[in-house]
Amino acid sequence: MKKPPVHIVLISILILFVIPQVLSADEESAEVSTEEFVAEGITKKPREDFFFAIIGEGSIYSYDSLAYGGGIILGYGTGSAVGIKIEGFFNQEGIDVLELNVFLRLYFLGSSAYSGPFVQFMGGTALINRSDDFSIPSFTGSVSAGLGFGWRFLFKDRWFLEPGARAGYPFIVGAGVSAGFRL
The tens digit of pLDDT for each residue in 62-81 reads 777 889 999 999 999 988 99
pLDDT at 24 over 50: no
Report the alpha-carbon distance of residue 164 to residue 54 in Å, rounded.
13
Specify the pTM.
0.69
Contact 53, 160 (CB under 8 A): yes
Residue 4 burial by CB count (10 A; 0-12/13-18/19+): exposed, middle or buried? Answer: exposed
Question: Could you state, in order of their start, the residue ranges of all structural domains in the chain?
Answer: 47-182
Output the DSSP codes for 76-113. E-SSEEEEEEEEEEEETTSEEEEEEEEEEEEETT-TT-
Q: Mean of the pLDDT values across residues 37-64?
A: 74
Pick the more confident residue, 61 or 25: 61
Q: Which CATH number is associated with domain 47-182? A: 2.40.160.20
